Homo-oligomer: A and B are copies of this chain.
Amino acid sequence: MTGSDITSNPFTDNLRVVLVAPRNPLNIGAAARAMTNFGFRHLRLVNPYDVAYREARSAVHAQEILRNTQEFKTLEEAIADCTLVVGTTSLGHRELQHPLRAIEYGGRLIRKHLGSAPAALLFGSEKFGLSNDDLSYCHWLLRIGTSGSMNLGQAVAVCLYELIRKATASKPEKRKPASSADLDRLTARLTEVLRQSGYVHSDGTEAKIRRLVRRLDLPAHDAEVWLGMLRQIQWKVTHGGR
């Protein structure tokens, strides 16, 4: 970010608004506009429809945010630097494999996190919302307590409003949480070990393991320790008989 006229603020700087497969340029523009309104600046798009993105960039408002928007092929890359990943849903979700938090309470947790480390807030496509695979990258889900599904731009506006609503009220967390990339490394290694041990059979298991690891709420330092343990166990599983 160069030449920004928005005052830098570690709290707002730490949020990444991630739109997964957005289809409608008006919605991308609306999300960017809400971000400008509430002082956030990092918009990330995962696999947007090309036309939508190009149209949104040429919209009147929120030009700066859109010029600085980052595009990613996969969600995994888009959230790699984030130590908290929260999916949004306006519905009670189909299968409750994740903790589901009301926006008031969840917003407080996110605010607290933003005081010290990057967090991602994910919004699914207008038509399908977040997929089960997308959700498996989330630590938990934020439920906007509404009846019926919300318009994407409005959902973004309401969530961001909640985040800045009482920005001064919360205290930063002390311990540094594990990044999404750390958790991915852990998930991959664990899946391998489990496969070698005969625990993993079906293909859906990696997403299950990813959710399981996400729910651990690991500090960064502990993630290293667990990874070291798994490496040693894997060595034994591979060479153990000798």
* Chain A positions near chain B (C-beta within 8 angstroms): 6, 26, 30, 33-34, 36-39, 61, 90, 99, 101-102, 104-105, 107-108, 144-148, 150-151, 153-154, 157-158, 161-162, 164-166, 168-171, 173, 175, 190, 193-194, 196-199, 212, 215-219, 222, 225-226, 228-229, 232-233, 235-242
Contact = CB atoms under 8 A, between A and B. Distances in A.
Nearest to A190: B229
Contacts of A33: 148, 150-151, 154
Contact of A237 (B146, B229, B237): B237
Nearest to A31: B154
Nearest to A34: B154
A197 B235 contact: yes
A157 B144 CA distance: 12
A146 B37 contact: yes
A103 B105 CA distance: 19
